[in-house]
């Protein structure tokens, strides 16, 4: 003989769950819960976006600094290697070129002075060592007389032109000194750039 198994029915007498389903909450509480969740999600998204931008900005700044330093370091290295050549040009090659072109420069300046001279005579004041060089390039039968006077206080390559009240100066030594100073300043500036970047 079989016995029938009788099980207790817990469905009808089940104890209500302590948490109320969302659908059973009042409307204002459901809206408030939705807004709280939405705001929390939005805040998390904003924070993640802000963190990402901060990280990207920091990485970009670091990379730019490294690139900048690398560029200036390479530039300084190259300039440092050619510095002796630049100095040699300023101290040896340019003076030689200036000396070779000195007579042409004087003749060009004389012609410019004569164009605006009118009837006024042209006077050149020169270093005695430059006199022969200058006399060889001046026209023998020019439209106006050109007078040359010597002055020992002038350096070679310095010539003063005077037409009436107008004066013009050709000063090769000053020009060469200026070029040499510019080369030195350029080299000094290039050498110290990486140090300033590290400061």
pTM: 0.52
pLDDT at residue 77 is higher than 70: yes
Residue 86 CB burial class (10 angstroms; 0-12, 13-18, ≥19): middle
For residue 128, the model assigns a pLDDT of 93
pLDDT digits (tens, 9 = 90+) for 88-130: 888 888 888 888 888 888 888 888 887 877 777 889 999 999 9
Task: Give the chain's domains with CATH numbers.
Answer: 54-198 (3.30.2320)
Q: What is the mean pLDDT of residues 160-164?
A: 88
pLDDT digits (tens, 9 = 90+) for 17-70: 555 555 566 777 777 777 777 787 787 777 877 877 888 888 788 777 776 667
3-state secondary structure of 7: coil
Distance CA 126, CA 124 (A): 6
Tell me how long the chain is.
199
Q: What percent of the chain is modeled with pLDDT above 90?
A: 11
Handedness of CA 81, 86, 92, 93 (dihedral sign): positive
CB within 8 Å of 167: residues ≥ 6 apart: 160, 161
Mean pLDDT, the chain, whole residue set: 78
> What's the per-residue H, E or C state across 94-138?
HHHHHHHHHHHHHHHHHHHHHHCCCCCCEEEEECHHHHHHHHHHC
pLDDT at residue 196 is higher than 60: no
pLDDT grade for 195, boundaries at 50, 70 and 90: very low
**Could you tell me if 76 and 191 are in contact, meaning their C-beta atoms sit under 8 angstroms apart?**
yes
H-helix or E-strand containing 78? helix 27-88
For residue 2, the model assigns a pLDDT of 65
pLDDT at residue 144 is higher than 80: no
Residue 157 CB burial class (10 angstroms; 0-12, 13-18, ≥19): buried
Distance CA 78, CA 190 (A): 10
The CA-based dihedral angle spanning residues 47, 52, 57, 60, taken in that order and rounded to the nearest 10 degrees: 170
Q: What is the mean pLDDT of residues 146-173?
A: 90
């Amino acid at each position: 003989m079989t016995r029938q198994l009788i099980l207790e029915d817990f469905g009808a007498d089940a104890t209500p769950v302590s948490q109320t389903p969302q659908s059973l909450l009042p409307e204002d509480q459901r809206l408030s819960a939705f807004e709280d969740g939405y705001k929390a999600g939005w805040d998390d998204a904003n924070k993640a976006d802000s963190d990402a931008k901060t990280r990207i900005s920091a990485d970009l700044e670091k990379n730019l600094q490294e690139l900048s330093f690398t560029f200036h370091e390479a530039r300084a290295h190259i300039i440092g290697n050619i510095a002796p050549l630049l100095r040699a040009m300023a101290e040896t090659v340019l003076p030689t070129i200036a000396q070779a072109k000195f007579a042409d420069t004087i003749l060009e300046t004389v012609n410019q002075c004569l164009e605006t001279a009118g009837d006024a005579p042209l006077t050149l004041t020169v270093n005695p060592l430059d006199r022969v060089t200058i006399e060889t390039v001046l026209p023998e039968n020019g439209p106006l007389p050109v007078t040359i006077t010597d002055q020992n206080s002038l350096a070679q390559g310095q010539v003063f032109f005077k037409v009436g009240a107008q004066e013009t100066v050709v000063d090769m030594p000053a020009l060469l000194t200026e070029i040499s100073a510019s080369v030195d300043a350029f080299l000094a500036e290039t050498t110290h750039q990486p140090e300033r970047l590290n400061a």
